[in-house]
């Protein structure tokens, strides 16, 4: 069995059924002249805006419904399970809608991981992160505009280290959670896997959405679950409280480390692409 798989990998898969796209140029100034590039930026902005609008509203709505002092029910609302579904479901929907336009990143950590794997250029990566961050801020801004009193009272859906957890635990939760997400992104979009499993109609956004859902179930009690620096930034900017800013670095450092580990693991360990990537960097530098 193992021999058959090995022969198949050397044979039809590598020559006929799939091909790896060439590494993206490190600096691709030509992108700035293309409408498709700006269309992708708009798609990332709008997708992140919608993502934050729906999910932060869900978090605040749950807080309202379970506030006993305000007439709520401790067992009311959607619960942590419902919040996790909101985040995972929105990622599924938005990745499905935008994958063909921008790749459906909706997360600076995902963009960073794909950049390290040479899937996007430096210019595209930086501009995506800017668009995602602005979209997140605008999305949370809409939530505050519609529910200002509730937004401030219930913490604006912001991420922060929950009581009883150390900084190291919070950072570790963000690293591992983002690793799960970015590793899933690489696996779900791997052209080799798509060719091998072409008989299984699995939509790539589905496992990505499930990864977000599962990570939220595990880490909401620890950090509120960031794994997306733009999501954390949007709430921090609009709420603008010292406690949120004191913990905010965790929600950038952790996801970026997790994304880097996932990119290295998938590209250089599972796909054994270290030599190819090194060669592409050398050729780019030579040019």
Closest Cα to residue 137, out of 64, 219, 51?
A: 51
Write the DSSP symbol of residue 265: I
Cα torsion angle, 137, 245, 78, 175, sign = positive
DSSP 220-234: HHHHS--S-HHHHHH
Q: What is the pLDDT of residue 23?
A: 76
Would you kindly state where each structural domain of the chain is located, as residue ranges?
A: 29-269
Q: What is the pLDDT of residue 268?
A: 85
Give residues with Cβ within 8 angstroms of 238, minimum separation 6. 137, 140, 141, 143, 144, 151, 156
Given the candidates 3.30.420.130, 3.30.460.80, 1.20.1080.10, 2.40.320.10, the CATH classification of the domain at 29-269 is 1.20.1080.10
Would you give the end-to-end CA distance of the chain in angstroms? 44
Neighbour tally for 54: CB within 10 Å: 17
Dihedral angle over CA of 276, 281, 283, 287, nearest 10: 160
- CB-based contact 78:47 (threshold 8 Å): no
pLDDT by residue for the chain (287 residues), tens only, comes to 444 444 344 444 444 456 777 777 788 888 888 999 999 999 999 999 999 999 999 999 988 888 767 766 677 778 899 999 999 999 999 999 999 999 999 999 999 999 999 999 999 999 999 999 999 999 999 999 998 889 999 999 999 999 999 999 999 999 999 999 999 999 998 877 655 555 455 578 999 999 999 999 999 999 999 999 999 999 999 999 998 999 999 999 999 999 999 999 998 888 765 555 555 545 555 55
Q: What is the pLDDT of residue 2?
A: 43
Spatial distance between the Cα atoms of 106 and 55, rounded to a whole number of angstroms = 13
Spatial distance between the Cα atoms of 25 and 115, rounded to a whole number of angstroms = 10
Q: What is the pLDDT of residue 12?
A: 43
Give residues with Cβ within 8 angstroms of 240, minimum separation 6. none
Closest Cα to residue 162, out of 56, 90, 243?
A: 243
Spatial distance between the Cα atoms of 218 and 147, rounded to a whole number of angstroms = 28
């Amino acid at each position: 069995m193992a021999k058959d798989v090995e022969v198949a990998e050397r044979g039809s898969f590598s020559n006929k059924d799939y091909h790896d796209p060439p590494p993206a140029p490190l600096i691709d100034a030509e992108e700035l002249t293309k409408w498709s590039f700006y269309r992708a930026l708009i798609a990332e902005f709008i997708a992140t805006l919608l993502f934050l609008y729906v999910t932060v509203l869900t978090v605040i709505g749950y807080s309202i419904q379970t506030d006993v002092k305000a007439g709520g029910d401790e067992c009311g609302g959607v619960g942590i399970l419902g919040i996790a579904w909101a985040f995972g479901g929105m990622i599924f929907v938005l990745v499905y809608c935008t994958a063909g336009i921008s790749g459906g990143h909706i997360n600076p950590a995902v963009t960073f991981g794909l950049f390290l794997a040479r899937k996007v250029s430096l210019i595209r990566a930086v501009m995506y992160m800017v668009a995602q961050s602005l979209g997140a801020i605008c999305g949370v801004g809409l939530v505050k505009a519609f529910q200002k009193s509730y937004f401030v009272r219930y913490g604006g859906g912001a991420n922060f280290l929950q009581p009883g957890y150390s900084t190291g635990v919070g950072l570790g939760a963000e690293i591992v959670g983002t690793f799960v997400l970015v590793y899933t992104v690489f696996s779900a979009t791997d052209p080799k896997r798509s060719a091998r499993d072409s008989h299984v109609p699995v939509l790539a956004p589905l496992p990505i959405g499930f990864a977000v859902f599962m990570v939220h179930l595990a880490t909401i009690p620890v950090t509120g679950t960031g794994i997306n620096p733009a999501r954390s930034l949007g709430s921090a900017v609009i709420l603008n409280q010292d406690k949120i800013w004191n913990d905010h670095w965790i929600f950038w450092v952790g996801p970026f480390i997790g994304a880097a580990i996932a990119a290295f693991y998938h590209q250089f360990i599972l796909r054994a692409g270290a030599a190819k990537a090194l060669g592409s960097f050398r050729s780019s530098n030579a040019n």
